[in-house]
Chain A
Amino acid sequence: MLDNNQLLRFTTAGSVDDGKSTLIGRLLYDSKSIFEDQLQAIEKTSKKKGHDGVDLALFTDGLRDEREQGITIDVAYRYFTTPKRKFIIADTPGHIQYTRNMVTGASTANVATILIDARHGVIEQTKRHAFIASLLQIPHIIVCINKMDLVDYSEEVYNNIVRQFEDISSKMLVTDVRFIPMSALNGDNVVNKSENMPWYQGAPMLHTLETMHISSDINKVDARFPVQTVLRPQREGFIDYRGYAGRVASGIFRKGDEITVMPSGFTSKIKTIDTLKGELEEAYAPMSVSITLEDDIDISRGDMIVRSNNKPEALQDIEVMLCWLNNNPAKPRAKYTIKHTSNEQKAMIKEVVYKYNINTLDRIHDDNELNMNDICKVKIRTTKPLMVDSYRENRTTGSIILVDDSTNETVAAGMIV
């Protein structure tokens, strides 16, 4: 691998019937990311189950319950590397009752892959998957039109599905969408170019994943540095050292930059940007560094260092697209702990503005109940201001979770509108 190789995270949503597991198995198998002992174990199981040959879908087997029921329940993470990139797959279930798992897997992805069975075309589930990808603002979408072998590798079928998908996606916030006709079962256009579809001029899936431009996926404009903790070594050579440790959420910070600390509003200049390997001239997202300032000001976890000429909003009333993740429904006007970057406050859901029917994408205005897997727009009030950007502008400073203090569980995930 080369030194400048990047990491690409992608999510796959789908059910067993879409051939999702077969697709992942095929990617791992054809890119030689599967080890002999794994292969042997799967050959053994395939034989036991009476399959011809190796059932590639078995590579994605997880917990005992999942193996027994033959389904994916939780998000599973899988890894493979090619000479061009390292890949992390967030493998999620596709059914409606696992919407929350899809949202989880999508939250960190650069790319969403959406599987369509060529025999069935765009169905309700496709719509839902596209909607989640657009809601979570995944920068790139690859639509895998799978099982082309079952429709005689027909270009017409493919073109029809592309049109159907564009019909629904035109109403959503998606920018970069690519379509690939494939047969994961036979390996057409997954790693190797298909000989059965000479009419398809594009690249196979792996090549697409290896070459798509992802450097611009992170916001490079708005410099945001949430402070995680304060480093005070109090040892020789560093007696007066006071460093603010954190990970650059977005943008670029340089030595000498004029900065403002939010929410206090104090201003100063960046004195040094430190790492174990030495001082840096600049730090950009997503680097973890320690920043020292020219002036001694009171800063602690939860504060945010930003460039003085470009500040986020400090808001106590926010509008949020919320996905409810927990078995227990939301309690009306109940208080939750809201977590936003390194900041933590109490919050109350004041109003459910509307709720989505996530099959039809219609908005429901007269239903205030929030149950597991519901996606809705809500108004939230916090006890103290949060320093926020809109999720569309900034995935890190635009996202929140809610924690139920009576169980300590993470009950909701939200994107600031």
Chain B
Amino acid sequence: MSKYYLNYLDELESEAIFILREVWAQFQNPVILFSGGKDSILVTHLAKKAFYPAKIPFPLMHVDTGHNFPETIQFRDNIIKELGVNLIVGSVQESINDGRVAEEKGKNATRNALQITTLLDAIEANKVDCAIGGGRRDEEKARAKERFFSHRDDFGQWDPKNQRPELWNIFNGKHFQGEHFRAFPISNWTEMDVWNYIKRENIAIPSLYFAHEREVVWRQDTWIPNSEFLILEDHEEVVVKKIRFRTLGDITITGGDESEADTLEKIAAEVAGMRNTERGNRSDDKRSESAMEDRKRQGYF
């Protein structure tokens, strides 16, 4: 009987498909939070598998900060067309225009925290009762405590001290009017698992993940891409480097690494040898020891 077991990637895949189907069965109006990063692309790919031969039965939702890599938006539009699903866009620029949020000031200002309001507004406006995300427990210590089915109160807030216990494979998505859930089908995947799976399944990802020549500026120990949003300091200089991005966030805060990895094989090999965590280059997480926990409590992804 020894052949009747799954390898680790197949088991992770099967678990994620199970979660996605539970979401569909237990909620009225779920969406996939799609940022154009590898993790949300992976979740979308797994959703394709979960409902085949039917289409993915719910829309993708993009919280658009306006500070995008142009490549990400192109990629998003292509995938929407290919899957034949709807796209909901929540715009941070509109939230700013409407006076719902105020832009941060200064050199290291980002729109990262502003996304929370836009996200929660979009969830409310579209009556979303479950937002599926690509969060992983290995990313960050607050995320290590996250449930597969994670409850949010009617202000969209997370209460990490009062989470519902999750036992076996039984998930409880019951909620009252106005509350919603976040679901994390790839909770148990590590960065390495994601890359090994993308390689195995040959999943299309934005070109930004592959090594390419780009104008960048050295700031906060990483290469920040040059863009119309970047305000240069006197001592800073724009140079061209061959870099790749390990994660994709806003163009203003996502640092790249110098790299020669221009194929999935090379990326997987490079990630296997990495000695720093992937969020190490994200200035949004460097602000304090509990930066992620604090944002998550308020309703962040």
Q: A: which residues have CB within 8 A of B?
A: 1, 3-7, 35-38, 61-65, 67, 73-79, 81, 85-86, 88, 100-101, 103-104, 107-108, 214-216, 218, 220, 228-229, 231-235, 237-238, 241, 243, 245-247, 252, 274-276, 284, 286-288, 290, 301, 325, 337, 339-342, 395-396, 399-401, 403, 408-410, 413
Out of A63, A79, A301, name the residue touching B141 (CB < 8 Å): A63
Contact residues of B: prevailing secondary structure: loop
Q: Which residue of B lies closest to A63 (CB)?
A: B160
Residues of A within 8 A of B187 (CB): 77
User: Which residues, 248 to 301 on B, are CB-close (under 8 Å) to A?
Assistant: 274-277, 280, 289-290, 293
Contact call A216/B49, Cβ cutoff below 8 A: no
Q: Is the CB of B174 within 8 A of A337?
A: yes
CB proximity of B170 to chain A, nearest CB, Å: 5
Interchain CB contact under 8 A, B7 and A76? no
A231 touches B51 (CB 8 A): yes
Does B142 interact with chain A (Cβ within 8 Å)?
yes
Is the C-beta of B204 less than 8 angstroms from some C-beta in chain A? no
A396→B53 contact, CB < 8 A: no
> Could you name 9 residue pairs across A and B whose Cβ atoms are closer than 8 Å?
A5-B7, A64-B290, A64-B293, A79-B190, A108-B168, A231-B52, A286-B11, A288-B17, A413-B167
Tell me if A76 and B11 are in contact (CB < 8 A).
Answer: no
Q: Closest A-chain residue to B200, C-beta based? A: A3
CB distance from B182 to the nearest CB of A (A): 16
- Residues of B near A233 (CB, < 8 A) are 53-55
Report A-chain residues with C-beta under 8 Å of the C-beta of B293: 63-64
In the bound assembly, the distance between CA atoms of A287 and B1 in angstroms comes to: 16
B2 near A62 (CB under 8 angstroms)? no
Q: A228-B18, A399-B167 are in contact. Are A86 and B8 (CB under 8 A)?
A: yes
Task: Tell me how far the C-beta of B280 lies from the nearest C-beta in chain A, rounded to whole angstroms.
Answer: 5
Least CB distance from A16 to B in Å reads 17
Does B168 contact A107, Cβ atoms closer than 8 Å? yes
- Nearest opposing residue in chain A for B54, CB measure: A233
Partner of A104, one of B167, B172, B188: B167
| B172 surroundings in chain A (CB, below 8 A) | 339, 401, 403, 408-410
Residue contact B160 to A7, C-beta cutoff 8 Å: no
In contact, A286 and B138 (Cβ under 8 angstroms): no
A403 touches B174 (CB 8 A): yes
Who on chain A is nearest to B151 by CB?
A408
Cβ-based interface call for B161 (8 A)? yes
- The residues of A that contact B163 with a CB separation of less than 8 Å are 74
Q: Which of A62, A245, A286 contacts B145 (CB 8 A)?
A: A62
Q: Cβ of B125: which chain A residues have Cβ within 8 Å of it?
A: none
Inter-chain CA distance A395–B21, complex, in Å, is 20
The answer on a CB contact under 8 Å between A62 and B141 is: yes
- Kindly state the separation between the CA atoms of A413 and B2 in the bound complex, as whole angstroms: 32
Cα distance, A218 to B5, chains bound together (Å): 9
Beta-carbon contacts of B70-111 to A below 8 Å, as 1s and 0s?
Answer: 000000000000000000000000000000000000000000
Are A65 and B161 touching (Cβ within 8 A)? yes
Q: Which residue of A lies closest to B192 (CB)?
A: A81
- Taking A77-B188, A216-B1, A403-B172 as known contacts, 19 extra A-B pairs with beta carbons closer than 8 A to each other, sorted by chain A number, are A3-B7, A6-B5, A6-B11, A35-B274, A62-B144, A62-B145, A85-B8, A86-B190, A100-B165, A107-B167, A108-B167, A234-B54, A245-B50, A325-B165, A396-B168, A401-B167, A408-B174, A410-B166, A410-B172
